[in-house]
A = this chain, B = another copy of it.
Amino acid sequence: MLTKQELIKYCNDARQNYLDHVSIDCVVFGFHEGQMKVLLLKTHHEEKWYLPGGFVLKEEPIEMAANRILMERTGLDKIFLQQFHVFGDPDRSKFHNDLYKDMLPTQENWFAGRFLSIGYYALVDFFEVTPQPDQFSESCTWRDLDDVPELQLDHELIFKTALDALRLQLNYQPIGYNLMPKEFTMPELQKLYETILDKKLDRRNFQRRILAFGILNRAEQPRKGGAHKAPYLYSFDLENYRHALTEGFKGGW
C-alpha cells in the first residue's frame, strides 16, 4: 500500500513518463511438473489477484514495453510475446478509478482516467523465472492453470482470452521452445500439449505427429537414472522451428 506521498510522486512520475490511457497486461505461461502455470500477483492485505501489467513509456514501442514490464516481474529479457487483444471497454477501468480514490482528487490521480489495456501472452521457461512482486503487491507466484483464483477487474476475461489464443496458436505453430528446458523427453512435451489443451492425447500418435513436423532433434543418449525404461532426450531444431513459426503447419485450404 502506498502512502499519500508516494502516490502523489507515482502519479507525477507516471504523468511525465507514461502514455495516458494505455496499459499493458500480460498472461505469462510456464510449465512445471506436468502442470501449466500462470504468473499472478496478489495485493496487500486482500485476497485479490491480478495479472502482471504496466504502462507504456512515451517514446517506447508497445512490444518493448511488454518486454520491460515482464523483465521486472520475471528477471527475463527477450521473452516470447504475443499480442492477442485490446480490452477497451470504458467500464473496465473502474478499478483504476477506485484505486486510492479517497487519497487523491480525481484530477490529480493519474489512475483515475480510462485505460485501454493491450493484452500480451508470454511463454517462458519456468526454471529461469524469478518472480518479483511489484509496488502494489505482496507476492508474485505461479498458479496452476486449473487453480486460478478470482481475479481483479477484467483480468479473468483477459486470462481466458489469452488461453484461447494460445490454444489457437497450437493448431498452426510449434510452441514448446519457449516453455520447455533445453532438453526434454517426449512424454514431457506431450504433457505440455495435454495441459494446454486440457485433454489426453495418444502417446504414439502424438510422437509420430510431432516428429513429422521436423522440429525436433533426438540426443544420442537417453536420460539415465529414473525408474523404468530410459526415455530419449529431445531438443528443438532452432532453424526448422523458426521456419515452422513463420510458415505455419497444415494450412487448411
List residues of chain A with CB under 8 Å of any chain B CB: 19-22, 56, 58-63, 83, 85-86, 88-90, 114, 116, 118, 168, 170-172, 193, 197, 201, 249-253
The complex is assembled from copies of this chain, and their number is: 2
Measured in the bound complex, the distance between the Cα atoms of B126 and A97 in whole Å is 43
Find the B residue at minimum CB distance from A24.
Answer: B88
CB of B252 within 8 A of CB of A172, answer yes
Q: What would 15 A/B residue contacts be, using CB atoms closer than 8 Å?
A: A21-B21, A22-B22, A22-B116, A58-B90, A60-B90, A61-B89, A62-B89, A62-B116, A83-B86, A170-B252, A170-B253, A171-B251, A171-B253, A172-B252, A197-B253
Measured in the bound complex, the distance between the Cα atoms of B248 and A170 in whole Å is 14
Min CB distance A117 to B, Å, is: 10
CB of B19 within 8 A of CB of A58, answer no
Measured in the bound complex, the distance between the Cα atoms of B59 and A250 in whole Å is 43
Min CB distance A26 to B, Å, is: 14
With a CB–CB cut-off of 8 A, which chain B residues contact A251?
A: 171
With a CB–CB cut-off of 8 A, which chain B residues contact A249?
A: 252
Contact of A21 among B22, B59, B118, B201 (CB under 8 A): B22
With a CB–CB cut-off of 8 A, which chain B residues contact A172?
A: 168, 171, 252
With a CB–CB cut-off of 8 A, which chain B residues contact A252?
A: 170-172, 249-250
CB of A90 within 8 A of CB of B59, answer yes
Min CB distance A114 to B, Å, is: 7
With a CB–CB cut-off of 8 A, which chain B residues contact A89?
A: 61-62
CB of A63 within 8 A of CB of B83, answer no
Given known contacts A21-B19, A21-B20, A253-B197, A86 and B171 CB-to-CB distance under 8 angstroms: no
With a CB–CB cut-off of 8 A, which chain B residues contact A60?
A: 90
Min CB distance A252 to B, Å, is: 4
A56-B88, A86-B118, A170-B253 known; 12 new pairs, CB 8 Å cut-off, are A19-B21, A21-B22, A59-B90, A59-B114, A61-B89, A61-B90, A83-B86, A168-B172, A171-B172, A171-B252, A171-B253, A201-B253
Min CB distance A136 to B, Å, is: 24
Find the B residue at minimum CB distance from A197.
Answer: B253
